[in-house]
Amino acid sequence: MPKQFDLLIFDWDGTLADSARTIVNAIQRGSRDAGAPIPDDAAARGVIGLGLPEALLKLFPDLDEQTRQRVGEGYKHHYHANEHEVSLFDGVEDAMQAYADAGFMLAVATGKGRNGLNRAMEMSGFGHLFHATRCVDDCFSKPHPQMLEEIMDELGVTPDKAVMIGDSEFDLQMARNARMPSLGVSYGAMPEEKLIQHAPLACFDSFAKLHAWLNENA
């Protein structure tokens, strides 16, 4: 069966890496350290996928910029201190190798900064499999389509031959803004009811189910 897609673009946090809890904890601890209101779990999860300045502005629209910056500094401190606890979802490493062996091009579009993405990819052991990466140090934050547009331009792929895979509404909005299809995963930051509002081709509650769909349909 011919491939439907030539390029699989993955979000990182909450899609490949089980990092949502670590991110939420870091947001809450950074807020506490800065003397800012501490967001509950749902609010903190609701900004995962955005760049850090955009996430903090969404969480704390009424805070002064200096306090938001202190929250951001605290977030970075607490996340870096605990990122060694972040693991990949079961089956991710083998799946990435299988996609590469099957001839797919692989890419990452993430709200992480470049240093954080480089560290995460190095720890993963399969960073060499990705043909292109974009993060918030390179492009506008999601849901702006710049990350996807640049990846497709770099790799010479048209939107109909690429798919964005992510766990947040910002991933799926970004895909729609780039006029490309998407797949949602509800095992990361956001529940299925938020994701399906943005018309993904399908939504999955485990990485195993996503992998099975890609094997059958991609």
| Predicted confidence (pLDDT) per residue in 164-191, tens digit | 999 999 999 999 999 999 999 999 999 9
Confidence (pTM): 0.94
CATH number of 7-18+88-217: 3.40.50.1000
Indicate if 20-84 has the same CATH topology as 7-18+88-217: no
**20-84 to CATH, choices 1.10.150, 1.10.260, 1.10.3470, 3.40.50:** 1.10.150
Q: Round the CA-based radius of gyration of the chain to a whole number and report it.
A: 17
* Mean pLDDT, residues 183-200: 96
Rounded mean pLDDT of the chain? 96
**Residue 17 and residue 122: Cα distance in Å, rounded?**
13
Query: Does residue 2 surpass a pLDDT of 80?
Result: no
Tokens of 66: 């200096």
| Residue range 85-131, pLDDT digits in tens | 999 999 999 999 999 999 999 999 999 999 999 999 999 999 999 99
- Give the percent of the chain with pLDDT over 70: 99
pLDDT for res 3: 78
* Mean pLDDT, residues 193-207: 97
DSSP-assigned letters across all residues of 28-71: HHHHHHHT-----HHHHHTTBTB-HHHHHHHH-TTS-HHHHHHH
Query: Residue ranges of the domains in the chain?
Result: 7-18+88-217, 20-84
Query: Does residue 147 surpass a pLDDT of 80?
Result: yes
DSSP-assigned letters across all residues of the chain: ---S-SEEEE-SBTTTEE-HHHHHHHHHHHHHHHT-----HHHHHTTBTB-HHHHHHHH-TTS-HHHHHHHHHHHHHHHHHHGGG-EEPTTHHHHHHHHHHTT-EEEEE-SS-HHHHHHHHHHHS-GGG-SEEE-TTTSPPTTSTHHHHHHHHHHT--GGGEEEEESSHHHHHHHHHTT--EEEESSSSS-HHHHGGG--S-EESSHHHHHHHHHHH-
**Residue 199 and residue 179: Cα distance in Å, rounded?**
12
